[in-house]
Amino acid sequence: MFRPVDPTRNLLDIPSLPAPMIEAYLERTAYYAEKLANKSVDRTVLAGKTLLNLFFEPSTRTRTSFEMAAYRLGANIVNWDPEGSASRKGESFTDIIQSLAALRPDGIIIRHAKYNTPHMVAQIVDCPVINAGDSWRAHPTQALADAYTILQRKGRLGGLTIAICGDVAQSRVAACNIALLSRLGATINLIAPPNFLPPTLPQANVAVFTDMDEGIRNADAIIMLHLQKERLDLSAFSDTIGYHHAYGLTHDRLRRCKGDVIVLHPGPLNRGVEIADDVADDPHHSLILQQAANTLPVRMAVLDLLLNA
């Protein structure tokens, strides 16, 4: 039942992705960004295809942007609802996936809390599988959108210093961004309190800081991470105000950074916790809405390249 997985037929994570595929995704993203801007998207690219959205965890941005990407290219998309499903009746995950795959979707988009679940699904089904976020490990389309957003503003990734700040150990966005941005030649500054740092560093060109001001000082881009408030260690911080004081991105901190530093945040935002209101909305430094908008051409590129392969 479990077959080997072809990393060029699926998008499961960044480390397994061959370099030409990363290049192809970013190039096709630029193509679709221009088509969207000119309102000249070819709506027949995925005509006749039906996608299955399997979100076992909540999502505001990712699910909607995959839906819009599918519609913009002429595909249909079915949103499967785990709450009303047989998983509530005790059916095994594998049986559910096999039953859904028997309906022969042209592609499956999956988000799941468990480590490596999209990979396991790709071993069972015949169609391409796209990871829309699993566990703390992978969120490859978010990483591609973040890389593309930085490229758009800076014109390159090689030689840049990119700070990633917050709950690094628990963040699939951080894990995937470290893997992608370092492969594309950036140096990564990880910034977090010690209990939010991974036990081992995944790449050679990654530096670790527990002092936020030090970690962002030479950064060309700062990616702030969503703080899961329930993970806040009360022995280290009295409350979210204490966290904001130590690790929140404020204008006061930005003033001590490079003048052209850009700020990203994949969402959901905790304003006043990891990021100050006026930094999130800053018209010069914040690319947060552009980053959200870029998830659309990224996901159009991924659907096009995988479903039309």
Single out the residue of 8, 50, 59, 240 in contact with ligand CP (rule: CB under 6 A).
59
C-alpha separations of 161 from 34, 85, 151 in Å: 27, 45, 13
Q: Which stretch binds ligand CP (CB under 6 A): 17-25, 203-211, 234-242, 263-271?
A: 263-271
| Closer CB to ligand CP, 142 or 177, in the complex | 142
Single out the residue of 9, 35, 61, 183 in contact with ligand CP (rule: CB under 6 A).
61
Single out the residue of 267, 271, 272, 293 in contact with ligand CP (rule: CB under 6 A).
267
Work out how close the CB of 35 gets to ligand CP at its nearest, in angstroms, rounded to a whole number: 23
Work out how close the CB of 170 gets to ligand CP at its nearest, in angstroms, rounded to a whole number: 13
- What does residue 237 show for φ and ψ, rounded to 5 degrees? -130, 135
β-pairing verdict for 129-134 and 107-112: parallel
**105 near ligand CP (CB under 6 A):** no
Bridge partner list, 275 = 249, 271
User: 3-state SS of the chain?
Assistant: CCCCCCCCCCECCCCCCCHHHHHHHHHHHHHHHHHHHCCCCCCCCCCCCEEEEEECCCCCHHHHHHHHHHHHCCCEEEEECHHHCHHHHCCCHHHHHHHHHCCCCCEEEEEECCCCHHHHHHHHCCCCEEEEEECCCECHHHHHHHHHHHHHHHCCCCCCEEEEECCHHHCHHHHHHHHHHHHCCCEEEEECCHHHCCCCCCCCCEEEECCHHHHHCCCCEEEECCCCHHHCCCCCCCCHHHHHHHHCECHHHHCCCCCCCEEECCCCCCECCCECHHHHCCCCCECHHHHHHHHHHHHHHHHHHHHCC
Work out how close the CB of 37 gets to ligand CP at its nearest, in angstroms, rounded to a whole number: 22
Q: Which stretch binds ligand CP (CB under 6 A): 56-64, 100-108, 208-216, 299-307?
A: 56-64
Single out the residue of 27, 34, 60, 236 in contact with ligand CP (rule: CB under 6 A).
60
| Closer CB to ligand CP, 45 or 138, in the complex | 138
**7 near ligand CP (CB under 6 A):** no
Q: Which stretch binds ligand CP (CB under 6 A): 21-29, 93-101, 117-125, 265-273?
A: 265-273
**269 near ligand CP (CB under 6 A):** no
| Closer CB to ligand CP, 159 or 268, in the complex | 268
Q: Which stretch binds ligand CP (CB under 6 A): 88-96, 154-162, 261-269, 280-288?
A: 261-269
Q: Which stretch binds ligand CP (CB under 6 A): 17-25, 90-98, 200-208, 262-270?
A: 262-270
The interface with ligand CP within residues 127-156 (CB under 6 A) comprises 133, 139, 142
Residues that contact ligand CP, how many (by CB under 6 A): 10
**29 near ligand CP (CB under 6 A):** no
* Chain positions contacting ligand CP, by CB under 6 A: 59-62, 133, 139, 142, 266-268
